[in-house]
Amino acid sequence: MKIVVDANVPAAEACLGELGEVVRVPGREIEAATVRDADALVVRSITQVDASLIAEARAIGSPLRFVGTCTIGTDHVDEQALADHGIGFSSAPGCNAEAVVDYVLASLSTLAERQGWRLAERRVGIVGVGNVGGRLLGRLTAMSIDCLACDPPRVEAESIEAEGPEGLPGFHDLDTLIDECDVLCLHTPLVREGPHATHHLLDAQRIAALAPGTVLLNAGRGDCVDGRALRQRLAGQGDLTAVLDVWEHEPAIDAALADLAEIATPHVAGYSLDGKLRGTHQIYRALAHHVGLPARLTMDDLAPPPPVARLVLDSGLSPEEALRLCMRVVHDTRRDHDSLHREARRQGMAKGFDDCRARYPLRREFATLEIGLREGAREWAALLAGAGFRVDMA
């Protein structure tokens, strides 16, 4: 069995190599001819597996029988076209959700430091309470951060009313979040049509309604925000703070909007090694099941030890300083922001954007770091554990 795999999928040989011959190809170069003699295709979000690619592959005699995407989102894959041609499909829901939550918390911590406020004093609105948004809501609530949540499709499907899932805060409409929250975090899928469409969910009217001083953070889908309207608000009034990891028209994103964002990163919020390995492993298991072979490898077989496994803290820091220190040991979003701007200047935006993703440095998740707390720091245990670290009384 021949398996064509996006060049940025980690551990493909270790995992998928158990099932067949692995051939790596850069994601943006994958086309019908690439899978002429392939039995399986494994991609990430930059490869458009659309009806034309599938039809052309079939027309040239491709034996393709399985497509997997090592991502949560699936809007880059035409699932109906795959089904019409009898091709199996699997995605990796939740694989990088923890990494995205890490990114959100690290970004908010950086903004609080730069702008002189405390996250504990802010109300955070979370739009989309799925794999990512649900975890973010859980962590913020555990950190005693006031939150409001919005997820109309989930409310409709599950008849959620005043009480949120597992005792978490209840659900509200988007305009309530816009009116009442200091921070607005978007974690919705991209849905272009229907009663719960999210394309330009934050349109010009809603962007204009954001109160001065609001932080807008989008780590969901770029097309959920009207980028032109946001750029005009930032350039004209300059009274919002934008943190953007996803963009319209990737990789040729709006350079002027990137310049105006306080933190601008190249769609890497979920790019932890742990998240990528989970995605690879989930697709490995799905492909093995599809072809009737055993899946013998576990995640423990794939994940290496973290470069920093333990950090010991004592008195002398504020809770915010202690939390920020622990976060930056694992992930500093300023690095990702600086990399995008540097490579955009050097190579142009589209090439620089893709190069940052292709050469993204090693990054682990908060949960890989154990925090030892000596007597003078034990009062921070709940805060650090809530943020996602493993806490031990040193």
332 appears as a binding residue in the annotation:
no
Q: Which of 173, 167, 166, 134 is nearest to 152 (CA)?
A: 173
Which residue has 């292709």 as its token pair?
Answer: 358
Name, in order, each residue with C-beta under 8 angstroms of 58's C-beta and a sequence gap of 6 or more. 64, 85
The H helix count followed by the E strand count for the chain is 16, 14
3-state secondary structure of 357: helix
Of how many residues is the chain composed? 394
Q: Which of 273, 276, 268 is nearest to 246 (CA)?
A: 268
Active site positions, annotated: 221, 250, 267
> How is the beta sheet containing 88-90 ordered, strand by strand?
21-25, 2-6, 40-43, 66-69, 88-90
Residues 86 and 66: their CA atoms lie apart, in Å, by 9
Residues 308 and 242: their CA atoms lie apart, in Å, by 30
71 appears as a binding residue in the annotation:
yes
Residues 62 and 34: their CA atoms lie apart, in Å, by 9
Are the beta carbons of 205 and 230 closer than 8 angstroms? Answer: no
What radius of gyration do the chain's Cα atoms show? Answer: 21
Residues 122 and 141: their CA atoms lie apart, in Å, by 12
45 appears as a binding residue in the annotation:
yes
50 appears as a binding residue in the annotation:
no
Helices (H), ranges, the chain: 12-15, 51-59, 79-84, 97-115, 131-142, 152-158, 174-180, 204-209, 227-236, 255-260, 273-291, 299-302, 319-330, 333-347, 349-358, 381-387
Sign of CA pseudo-dihedral 22, 24, 28, 33: negative
Phi, psi of 241 (to 5 degrees): -115, 125
Q: Is 304 exposed, middle or buried (0-12, 13-18, 19+ CB in 10 A)?
A: exposed
Binding residues for substrate: 45, 71, 271
Which residues sit in the known binding site? 45, 71, 151, 188, 245, 270-271
Name the binding residues for NAD(+): 151, 188, 245, 270
